[in-house]
Chains A and B, each alone.
Chain A
Amino acid sequence: MELYDQTIHQLQDLLRARRVSAMELTEAVLTRIERVEPRINAFITQCRDLALGQAEAADRQLAKGEGGPLCGIPLAIKDVLCTQGVRTTCGSRILESFIPPYDATVISRLKGQGVVMVGKVGMDEFAMGSTTETCAFGVPKNPWNPDYICGGSSGGSAASVAAGECIASLGSDTGGSVRQPASHCGVVGLKPTYGRVSRFGLLAFASSLDQVGTLTKDVRDAALLLGSIAGHDPRDSTSAKESVPEFGALLAGNIKGLRLGIPKEYFGDGLDPEVRRAVEEAIDRLRKLGAETVAVSLPHTKYGIAAYYIIAPAEASSNLARYDGVRYGFRDLEAGSLVEMYKRSRAQGFGPEVKRRIIIGTYALSSGYYDAYYKKASQVRTLIARDYQEAFACCDALVSPVTPTPAWPLGAKSDDPLALYLSDVLTVCTNLAGLPALSLPCGFSATGLPIGLQLQGPHFSEASLLNIAYTLEQDLGLCQQRPGLSL
């Protein structure tokens, strides 16, 4: 297997034993990027020189037996995380030339370990989308079939991992933005519990829903990467003071006696037959592996999209008010008055989907509509959270599909925002309740597109979700599969 196709834990051993240098590994990944990037277009900004410098530093650390567990591992970072001195666009023209003066906490933690950053990867503008087609700097393609969407909003992360353009990636998940692209690109996507990982330096979309997550080639890598970024951060007042377990050590590979809930609302009429079959077969495997399954109901699931598409845009309309052309970002220098400057800078800097959500959010929060929309949606959020509490009273985790269908052809839904919103039906409720969830490859469609299985668990149950996923992954034996990018 080529170096760029290997996992963090495989490479860790090679690097520690000095059988491979961080420089060789980084060069292998950079060469891979050069070869496949014209077809995949995962990156907004490549950092070749920075990566080579970091690789050199990592080799010095490794030679002395220093550096963290991820020392020398080449990663791609979603362009939503601030990276000091490296342009961070959030997929938007309004931040086309923004160079952050500081690192996000997750980035400084990774740098502290000695990782190598090969670049910043594509995303839907301000993480608003499910296909990465709203990215202002080109659309990443699905490595399994470049005519198909890679999913979104962390599409560049998922595509770059699947295509071997990095070893692993960080993304962010506000309504499914890590799990859904992971599912479409056949990689493992982990959305931690709200508060598990610091949001300091994560460009805000919807602050009560946003969470940094991981996209990796297998479950063990997800455990390693999560362990490297998780934990309380005084600079994020919503980060939890929960202790961080050794996730990797807790991959027991045994799920005997666990109770897995199968939520009937996730297997409704809109579910694609191939997705249904793949997920049901995986559930059979979980039973054979010793888990017990119970039918559960989350009756308010169907209201998740409606509640989410009020709450997320409402928070976004407030968060994105900071892009006013004053301190950073694009400004229309021709505007005569301050208000005109705001209006024209924002009109030219934001794309159509971002504008649409700002309008919906501002409308929902505006005088006379607040109770009818924002308050109502927040009450429904309570009902959705209660559904989960009741379900977790009788099971350890929930098993379902991640998305109702496999990936669709590029452009197929770009003219119908509501249809696109509805495709998030199986992922948004997790964020409304602040739960951890994981997407694991569980099969392929007849046309060769990956299908994912979703696990959702109670707050701070990542270790349990990772163990379930790991056990199933070992049994399915799909994690070695890579897209056959014909070059």
Chain B
Amino acid sequence: MNISSEDITRVAHLARLALRPDEIETMTHEVGRILTYIDTLNELNTEGVIPTSHALAITNAFREDAVVPSLAREEALKNAPCRNEEAFVVPKIIG
């Protein structure tokens, strides 16, 4: 599988990762090699095979709709890199 540095740049944006030009170059080479290896999956005919997303046949996990205590606000905010008294603070979104 040939993958271009433009592909990596596009995917890095989707993944919200700022990559340096040298990282994009290395990544293009390495990811290309890995995807070429992954292309060996195409040796298999999988027509009509149902995909597996979960190894066990658990379908629904129901529980009582009971109210239980949740994390207190102060606890939830404790690890925030930037916060005020009651909320997480992020850079301005609307100008």
Contacts and interface: CB of A to CB of B under 8 A. Distances in A.
Interface of A: 97-99, 101-102, 193-195, 208, 234, 237-238, 240, 300, 303, 305-307, 309-310, 317, 321, 324-331, 333, 335-344, 346-347, 350, 352, 355-356, 358-360, 362-363, 366, 373, 375-383, 385, 417-418, 421, 432-435, 459
Contacts of B40: 303, 306
A102 B93 CA distance: 31
Report whether over half of chain B's contact residues are helix, strand or loop; otherwise say mixed: loop
Given A101-B78, A102-B71, A341-B91, A373 B38 contact: yes
Contact of B8 (A326, A333, A341, A359): A359
Nearest to A348: B18
B51 A359 contact: no
B58 A366 contact: no
A333 to B, nearest CB: 7
A249 to B, nearest CB: 25
Interface of B: 3, 7-8, 11-19, 23, 27, 30-31, 33-35, 37-44, 46, 49-56, 58, 61, 63, 71, 75-76, 78-82, 88, 90-91, 93
Contact of A333 (B16, B76, B82): B82
A376 B42 contact: yes
B41 A307 contact: yes
A194 B56 contact: yes
Contacts, number: 168
B83 to A, nearest CB: 9
Given A309-B38, A347-B17, A99 B44 contact: no
A347 B19 contact: yes
Contacts of A101: 71, 75-76, 78-79
A326 B80 contact: yes
Contact of B15 (A240, A338, A362, A382): A362
A330 B91 contact: no
